[in-house]
Amino acid sequence: MTPAPTTMPPPHTPSTHAQSPASPHTSPHTSRAPLLIVSDVDGTLIDERGQLPCTPVALRALLAALAAARGAPVLVALASSRTMRELTVLQRALGLYGPCIAEDGALLGVDVGRRGAVPFGVEQHDHIDVTDDPAWTAITNAGRRTLALQSFAVDSAALDRMMNDCSAFQHADVRRLGAAEWKSLGFRTPASVRRALAARHHSILLDPEVLDVDALNTLHDFTARQALQLRRGGRWLTLTAASGKGAALRALRHNARLDGVPPLIVAVGNEENDISLLAEADLRFVIRNPHRGPHESLASLPGAVVLSPEGPGGWIDMLNRLHLVAT
């Protein structure tokens, strides 16, 4: 689902406690390190109506200004329960190309070859070299881009077999929804449904709203007995064997270089399925949910900064705070 751009909200004044979040990875020269901003999507970068905190052009300008202020490259990666196909389509709409952590950490994709992600603040950069790394098991094309993929989970068919005897799973499986139901949930075209479902290879989306408390508890218990993971991200539950977005980010950290230098990793998220992502990052930012406030487990991570505005407006607040550190 492609987000519709909106006007940019007014800038927010950064607070001083955001200048030095604690992290075991942080170097004493963080103000000049390249930045890799790894962002959750739904509820973090875009709101429940699919809208950004500003237009894509304005967002790219803010990132370019941050790179100029730091004197170092800035690259944005997306980390979501969405599929790889959904994320690459979203990146094209935003004009923001970078690594993708898809299906709640089950799949990592990075650009290889001559076309792909170019960070703000640098004309050319070292591509991630996966030529001789057996962990990268597949190559796929996303438009003009070529992505190397690394999987961290069994495929969806295996998940189906493992969960086949759970009636709550069968009832909540969103693959059973009809076209009218998908449209009511904001999926405007058959293509958007295909990107969300047919392109989902290592996870299954479940709708907890159709389950009562007992059925939901049954689902969680059955999932735990199968040693699978069931995490909330926005409306949906994502069923996968992956341990979370953090493991994929750890693999990305191992390979990533921006302008030949290992980047400082910034993570921003808003939900339960972002806990491992933020825990793996150097700098951690928490988006407030408009209905529930900041997620308690995210806010309690060491050095985590809870951003002032609710929803995607917090993304602009994060950039302002990073800009303050750089100047």
CATH, residue 209: 3.30.980
- Indicate whether 73 belongs to any domain: yes
Whether residues 167 and 255 fall in one domain: no
Residue 25 located in a structural domain: no
Looking at 215, 239, 263, which one is the last position of a domain?
Answer: 239
> Does residue 17 lie within any of the structural domains?
no
Question: 175: buried, middle or exposed (CB in 10 Å: 19+, 13-18, 0-12)?
Answer: middle
Instruction: Specify the pLDDT at position 287.
Output: 97
Domain count, the chain: 2
Average pLDDT, integer, range 65-92: 92
Residues 176, 123 within the same domain: no
Co-location of 230 and 266 in the same domain: no
| Residue 28's pLDDT band (cuts 50, 70, 90) | very low
Residue 59 sits in the same domain as residue 106: yes
Look up residue 233 and give its DSSP letter.
Answer: E
pLDDT band at 218 (very low <50, low <70, confident <90, very high): very high
Q: In a 3-state reduction of DSSP, which class is residue 287?
A: strand
d(CA 316, CA 120): 16
Look at 133 and 267; give whichever has higher pLDDT.
267
Same domain for 137 and 169, yes or no, is no
Residue 21 falls within a domain, yes or no?
Answer: no
d(CA 167, CA 165): 6
Do 82 and 222 belong to one domain? Answer: no
Q: Is residue 231 part of a domain?
A: yes
Ranking 44-58, 65-79, 190-204, 263-277 by mean pLDDT, the lowest is 190-204
User: Where among 189, 221, 239 does a domain terminate?
Assistant: 239
Predicted pLDDT at 118: 58
Residue 117 resides in a domain:
yes
pLDDT digits (tens, 9 = 90+) for 155-164: 999 999 999 9
Q: What is the mean predicted confidence (pLDDT) over 116-139?
A: 58
The answer as to whether 88 is a domain residue is yes
For residue 109, what are its two tokens?
């994709």
Q: Considering only 79-88, 190-199, 300-309, which range has the smallest mean pLDDT? A: 190-199
Beta-carbon contacts of 274 under 8 Å, excluding residues fewer than 6 positions away, are 40, 44, 79, 233, 245, 267, 295, 298
CATH number at residue 107: 3.40.50.1000
Per the prediction, the chain carries an average pLDDT of 82
On whether both 169 and 304 belong to a single domain, the answer is no
Asked if residue 252 and residue 142 are part of one domain, the reply reads: yes
Q: Tell me the residue range of the domain where 81 lies.
A: 34-152+244-326
Percentage of residues in the chain having pLDDT higher than 70? 81
Query: Which single residue is written with the structure tokens 């992290």?
Result: 23
Residue 276 in domain: yes
What does the angle CA 38 – CA 39 – CA 42 come to, to the nearest 5 degrees? 160
Same domain, 171 and 271: no
Mark which of 224, 239, 254 sits at the end of a domain. 239
d(CA 226, CA 241): 9
Encoded amino acid at 40, one letter:
D
- Taking alpha carbons only, the member of 29, 10, 13 closest to residue 326 is 29
In terms of domains, do 257 and 288 share one? yes
DSSP code per residue over 62-101 = HHHHHHHHHTS-EEEEEE-SS-HHHHHHHHHHHT----EE
